[in-house]
Structure 1
Amino acid sequence: MWRAEAEGLRMRLGGAPDAVPRPGEGLVGEFRLREGESHDVVLELSAGPVSEPLDADALWRATEQEWRRVVPDCSRLVAPRDARHAYAVLRGLTSVSGGMVAAATTSLPERANTGRNYDYRFAWLRDQCYAGLAVAAHGPHPLADDAVRFVAERILEDGDGVRPAYTVDGRPVGGDRSLRLPGYPGGSDHVGNDAGAQFQLDTFGEALQLFAAAAAHDRLTKDAERAAAVAVDVVERRWLRPDAGLWELEDRWWTHSRLSVVCGLRRMAQVLPGGAGRRCDALADTVLRETRRRCLRPDGRWRRAADDDGAEAALLVPMARGCAFGDDGGAATRAHIESRLGEDGYLYRFEHPGEPLGDAEGAFLLCGFTMALATHRHGDRVGAFRWFERTRAACGPPGLFAEEYDVRQRQLRGNLPQAFVHATMLEAAVRLAGASTLP
């Protein structure tokens, strides 16, 4: 057994008794296996002392048993094997604190040599809400409780200063910096993320929807109820302020951010008693009225932002959640998004001026699954399955989804596994099967 210690960390390595330490190389060993042979090497990292033997067979059995316990049966869903896999991915990305990283990797570039490579090994509150809502649609599983707990703790702790992203144990994310490492080909090695300091209004709308989903399952904790009240207070004070939006761009009056807030307020109004519920309804009316004035075109289609008439796939998210706003022309908005941003059965986020779709970035898989959900909400079951199946095909051999997919080169782009893609895939599998436990 090889043992090592560093500050706050202990290591044990079993199964390599003949390895030798070499200066400048570390621990070096060689295995030669004949056909049919197998050999287990077990590496253990821990924060404290441990004494259990590193028995590979026992560890494999315990691992398989634990995964069978934490991943629910998905046999009634559309694409049951992939749905169960998506749930397992979300569970694997979630830490013991309840924080779920947006992806497990850093610096896998969206486009080679363009500087568009980021560190996603942090817990984005919005992404965590997407995952919690997807899991809650399937049932009141512990993974949804984890999302509620982590999001509630951040809102209660930071209030108006809530950040879009945190470390998995709830600390602020550091700014973007590079290490003296080569990084992935076409990219560089980035640590940290500047988006951690942005104001993103839609985060509060998604949090309210998550808390309402918990209440629908009778699992809204006292802390989450207090966090919902804090979120409503923040929305009331700051909804008129420009924000960075879902795509973390420049501060503008993004339509999606306001509609997300309206959706969250409406959902909470349905579960909060008395004056608290009436307050949510009244605030939703106020936000929607001004958003319609600024962002709804005379032909009934939503603008991308108050100052931008372009198509915007983020507008599909409230539709996917089943949030109808009267005469908002949701069908017209969805049709416009499909005509402007759809290509070969895949969907892009928005148009880049002067560049054809697919040149500036890949198809955004979150958008494809969200289009499937929105299309299903509008009663087009066949169209919803087309979007679902086409987007589901954009995974790598391990069945993992990245953030983007290069349709022409048939390649994954960006960090993986991307949590919010697996979350929307799971939710689509639930809702297209008619198995949702939420409205």
Structure 2
Amino acid sequence: MVAAATTSLPEHAGSERDYDYRYAWLRDQCYAGLAVAAHGPHPLTDAAVRVATARVLADGDRLRPAYRVDGGPVPDESTLPLSGYPGAADRVGNRAGAQFQLDSYGEILELLAAAARQDRLDRDGIRAAHTAVAALRANWSRPEAGLWELAPAWWTHSRLAAVCGLQAAARDIRTHGADRWRELADTILAETRRRCTHPSGRWQRAADDPRPDAALLRPLASSAWPAGAPLLGATRRAVERELGDDGFVYRFHSDDATELGGAEGAFLLCGFFMSAACRAEGRPVAAARWFERTRAATGPAGLFSEEFDVDRRRLRGNLPQAFVHALLLENAVRTASVPGGVRGVRGARGSAGVVRHAR
């Protein structure tokens, strides 16, 4: 499964920020596999497990975040002598293929754990879990590019994703040494809490960046997040307050002080992260409202792009974007399964211009 079927569609006309997403990100495979597993056993989850298992066993702690569909390395970025979308070059390749992204290991462990819960994890999958844990043990303290594929830093989300993956694997994969995986999760969590807790009592974006980041909501909403661990509510409120706009969610504040919506659109993935965080916090009606608001931001074909222009009510960037659809599937079943879920919200509509507020 590739991240998108398109390339070189910029975030808005005249923007040079355009990327080639026609490659297979391991994180996307995990998001899709976990989403389908939430509905029950399915061949798509099995396929995601096979892809992740093969790459982990082949590359270990040299795991790449993205691969070609045949498993080969993603080529470096280059431009073609062709006309792209207005204001954009026709770009191929992606520099993310050579990055180190720690959170990928955590997502893979959560996927393998989901397969184990459904008694669908084979011996290779168990070997892949051991390999992923060994890679985390050796590399969890390294600066890395993180979910958003930025300059290497001590990104909080990556450490929290690792904690969730280790906890899920220790809980669900029956194998020798799994009790030590919890000890590693506790070690990572303790150091992350020491370095990345904001003075106000929430998680901050990185050890050296006190701002909020919507990516933090993903691990905090996971069923593998340690019971009673603090900071979910405070982190979610900070993301809503500083990164929310008319029921949509942006990733983070730009480093160049550009206003939200100037550099990029609201991230639809993050809207579904917010819905999941509200549900984990015990706020099912708010979860359903965020879900419906984000779900409405589709094109005429009912497909999601990566971003949504809140002011102009239009899609931005490449489409269809795989991880947005994956989170739609996961949130659909989880939101509908709790009292006051999707069916309990009055006034929800399938148009981005109707439901004006998500709080």
Tell me whether the two structures share a fold, i.e. TM-score over 0.5: yes
8 Å CA contact 1:404, 1:414 repeated in 2? yes
8 Å CA contact 2:269, 2:327 repeated in 1? yes
Counterpart code for 1:380: R
**Which residue is 1:112 aligned to?**
13
Following superposition, the deviation at residue 111 of structure 1 comes to: 2.6
Alignment equivalent of 1:405, drawn from 308, 313, 319: 308
Distance 1:220 1:298 in 2: 42
Q: Secondary structure at the match of 1:424?
A: helix
8 Å CA contact 1:402, 1:416 repeated in 2? yes
Q: Secondary structure at the match of 1:412?
A: strand
Distance 1:278 1:220 in 2: 19
Query: Is 1:226 the counterpart of 2:127 in the alignment?
Result: yes
RMSD: 1.2
Following superposition, the deviation at residue 428 of structure 1 comes to: 0.5
Query: Is 1:431 the counterpart of 2:334 in the alignment?
Result: yes
Query: Is 1:365 the counterpart of 2:294 in the alignment?
Result: no
8 Å CA contact 2:163, 2:225 repeated in 1? no
TM-score normalised per structure 2: 0.91
**Which residue is 1:63 aligned to?**
none
Following superposition, the deviation at residue 152 of structure 1 comes to: 0.5
**Which residue is 2:350 aligned to?**
none
Following superposition, the deviation at residue 299 of structure 1 comes to: 3.3
Alignment equivalent of 1:168, drawn from 53, 56, 69: 69
Following superposition, the deviation at residue 328 of structure 1 comes to: 2.2
8 Å CA contact 2:126, 2:175 repeated in 1? no
Counterpart code for 2:253: E
8 Å CA contact 1:296, 1:328 repeated in 2? no
Divergent runs of 4+, >6 A: none
Tell me the number of residue pairs that the alignment of Structure 1 and Structure 2 aligns: 336
8 Å CA contact 2:34, 2:111 repeated in 1? yes
**Which residue is 2:246 aligned to?**
344
8 Å CA contact 1:302, 1:328 repeated in 2? no
Distance 1:309 1:191 in 2: 35
Give matches, 1:165-244, under 5 Å: 165-244=66-145
8 Å CA contact 1:271, 1:277 repeated in 2? no
Q: Secondary structure at the match of 2:82?
A: coil
Distance 1:364 1:274 in 2: 38
Counterpart code for 1:342: G
Distance 1:274 1:412 in 2: 45
Give matches, 1:57-96, under 5 Å: none
Aligned CA distance change for structure 1 residues 359 and 372 (closer, same or farther; 3 Å): same
The gaps in structure 2 that reach 5 residues or longer are 339-359
Aligned CA distance change for structure 1 residues 327 and 154 (closer, same or farther; 3 Å): closer
**Which residue is 1:13 aligned to?**
none
Distance 1:320 1:399 in 2: 26
Q: Secondary structure at the match of 2:293?
A: helix
**Which residue is 1:415 aligned to?**
318
Counterpart code for 1:336: A
Following superposition, the deviation at residue 112 of structure 1 comes to: 2.6
Post-superposition Cα deviations, 1:83-132, rounded to whole Å, max 9, x if no partner, equal xxxxxxxxxxxxxxxxx100001111113333210000000001110111
Give matches, 1:202-351, under 5 Å: 202-273=103-174, 275-325=176-226, 326-351=228-253
Following superposition, the deviation at residue 275 of structure 1 comes to: 4.2
